[in-house]
A and B are shown apart, each in its own frame.
Chain A
Amino acid sequence: MTENKEIIRVENLRREFIVGGEKVKALRGVSFTIYQGEFVTIMGTSGSGKSTLLNILGCLDTPTSGEYRLDGVSVQTMSKNQRAVIRNRKIGFVFQNYNLLPKTTAIENVELPLLYNSSVSSHERRERAVKALEAVGLHERLYHKSNQMSGGQQQRVAIARALVNEPVMILADEATGNLDTRTSFSILTLFQELYERGRTIIFVTHNPELALYSSRNIVLRDGKIVSDTLNLSPASAREAFEALPNDND
């Protein structure tokens, strides 16, 4: 896949925090490149620095030193507002706890990122939101409110919200962490479908099992990469899902 465009390039990324007067090194020189169309899992136990890396990749945080280029643009020199615009145009976030707006319909939740993009008309906004919800298989639940949906459905809405702005990458943070096994696999199947359609996905998780289903696996420990392996034949999440016993006891 090396012929593909570079989406992310990080070089010698370091991030230090001062906690209670002591310097904590969360990232100690991380370098990798992610190309368009990859499904990368970033793995590590808690304290490995994966959350810090996620925040930096998501342009929510800036590295103490090192270089981060997203879609050819250098991010670490950007102002807060410029990074907000980058998040709005180039990144789709999926969180562990969905983070949908309460008492708000699916379609309104999905429209939200486009509300912060003034170049999208209200007509186009609605159209794109409907399309994104169709892509995650929720075309029959456009007007369901977030509290009227199951966890799996809520996560699908969240994924639709991440897709609606046509981002260059989807950044998922433990996106299956709050779901039961069956629902996890159905969400994972959705991610694989998106991957097959050419989306770039970065999936941060502590669950080593998920590495089987991605095309590449980066393992972090103590702020450093300990392994970075390609998975040439990812397992099918759909098959795993179908192999699960049905809940009918």
Chain B
Amino acid sequence: MKFANLLKIALKALNNNKLRCFLTMLGIIIGVASVITMLAIGQGSKNSIKAQISEMGSNMIMIHPGNMQRGGVRQSADDMQTLEVSDYEAMKSLPGVAAISPSVNSGGQLVNGNNNYPSTIYGITPDYLDIRKLKVKDGTMFSDHDIQTAAKVCILGKTVVDNLFPGGEDPVGRVVRFGKIPLTVIGVLESKGTNSMGQDQDDVVLAPYTTVMKRILAIDYIQGIFASAVDESTTDETIDQMTALLRDRHKLKESDEDDFQIRSQQELSEMMNSTSDMMTVLLACIAGISLLVGGIGIMNIMYVSVTERTREIGLRMSIGARGIDILSQFLIEAVIISVTGGVIGILIGVLASWLVNVIANWPVYIQLYSVGLSFAVCTVTGVFFGWYPAQKASNLDPIEALRYE
């Protein structure tokens, strides 16, 4: 029995029952389309989180004071004063560190004439721009000299500019007040928009850390250190170097806990990934169930079809179709239904993903493997759910089948 002949027979039989064939396919179409769309949405949000994190600086390492006890009482992070400028300076020379900046910040009211706006001022070094992937759009960044002299200068984020200069005048060169301290605006940051956690990344004021420490907060410790590793793969190594250095500098004994916390952006991105992975799995499960329902639909229809076509099966057997020929015919019919349904489902899934992207503005990303996977699942579904009815058809007794009314 030639396969081409079997294919011809099966196609002919399907062609005779177009509507039923289409309705059966519908289950598979919906199943596959939803698998593709759900996975595309899941992967899309994962990718956009990833992109946003890497925008924040993918090699970023954050050091905060932590875990200090005074007489058995744990202290809140704000009160901890374990990090010093000298720690920052010592870490500068570590080989794995590409850029490093101390960080001190203070919330407060910014005033420009009649306009005022509450924001946060970050005391940093110019390296901070590299670490956080920021750019100065207008004006210039402050210099090392400004840091040494604790110069009264600042760089504004776009949100702050919009609020302090609603008229649209150029802020560069103007003087704004942060609390009581007048600061000359020397630059404006390029806008970065909101990050994946909904924070406005443009709502910042940058100034030399010495200015914030001495003139605004009047403190002699720093609140944190931001650094970036040379590349992503050496991040862990660099963290180890930093830990060793800080433990040594802080004269911690073997048994002591670290009095600081080092976290990398990688950890953060892993955490967010695992969340979005869980979402994706959940969505895929729902879609998978609809594919299963589609498969059962195929079995149901094929089963009815075998009963309805009993006479035809009897005739085919009487003119020389063997059991295996009948089995193959029904199996091929089931596979054609599921594979065609799968292909249509993939097309609709791609279209739906695109619509979700265009209309709802959700990020989507269609992975090749999800297309391949759903296609494979369809074929397997066709064979699996087509097998039982096909088996039933091939086991019919030709005499009984011919007499069937």
A residues adjacent to B (C-beta < 8 A): 55, 58, 60-61, 80-81, 84-85, 87-89, 93, 95, 99, 101-104, 108, 112-113, 115-118, 122, 161, 165
Contacts and interface: CB of A to CB of B under 8 A. Distances in A.
Interface residues on B, range: 20 to 34
Contacts of A85: 320, 322
22 contacts: A60-B318, A60-B398, A61-B399, A80-B322, A81-B322, A84-B322, A84-B323, A85-B320, A85-B322, A87-B320, A88-B319, A88-B321, A93-B319, A99-B311, A99-B315, A116-B1, A116-B5, A116-B320, A117-B320, A118-B1, A161-B319, A165-B320
A161 B316 CA distance: 12
Contacts of A88: 319-321
A165 B318 CA distance: 13
A108 B12 contact: yes
Contacts of A101: 12, 16, 312, 315
Contacts of B311: 99
Contacts, number: 68
A58 B318 CA distance: 8
B325 interface: yes
A94 to B, nearest CB: 11
Contacts of A118: 1-2, 5
Given A103-B16, A115-B9, A81 B324 contact: yes
B161 interface: no
A89 B402 contact: no
Main secondary structure of the interface of B (DSSP, over half): helix
A14 to B, nearest CB: 17
Interface in B22-46: none
B296 interface: no
A161 B9 CA distance: 16
Contacts of A99: 311, 314-315, 402
Contact of A60 (B5, B12, B321, B399): B399
Contacts of B4: 122
A118 B3 CA distance: 9
Contacts of A60: 317-318, 398-399
Contacts of A93: 318-319
A55 B316 CA distance: 15
B8 interface: yes
Given A88-B319, A116-B321, A95 B402 contact: yes
A89 B320 contact: yes
Contact of B321 (A84, A89, A104): A84
A101 B12 CA distance: 10
B196 to A, nearest CB: 58
A122 B315 CA distance: 21
Given A81-B324, A104-B12, A104-B16, A112 B319 contact: yes
Closest 10 A-B residue pairs measured CB to CB?
A88-B320, A84-B322, A113-B319, A99-B315, A118-B2, A115-B5, A116-B320, A81-B322, A87-B320, A103-B16
B392 to A, nearest CB: 16
A230 B214 CA distance: 130
A81 to B, nearest CB: 5
A182 to B, nearest CB: 27
Contacts of B323: 80-81, 84
Contacts of A87: 317-320
A80 B8 CA distance: 24
Given A108-B12, A112-B319, 16 more contacts: A60-B398, A80-B322, A81-B322, A84-B321, A84-B322, A87-B320, A88-B319, A93-B319, A95-B315, A99-B311, A101-B315, A116-B5, A116-B325, A122-B4, A165-B319, A165-B320
A102 B321 CA distance: 18
Interface string B295-335: 00000000000000001101111111111110000000000
B16 A102 contact: yes
Contacts of B9: 115
Nearest to A99: B315
Nearest to A89: B320
A103 B18 CA distance: 12
A89 B323 CA distance: 16
A116 B319 contact: yes
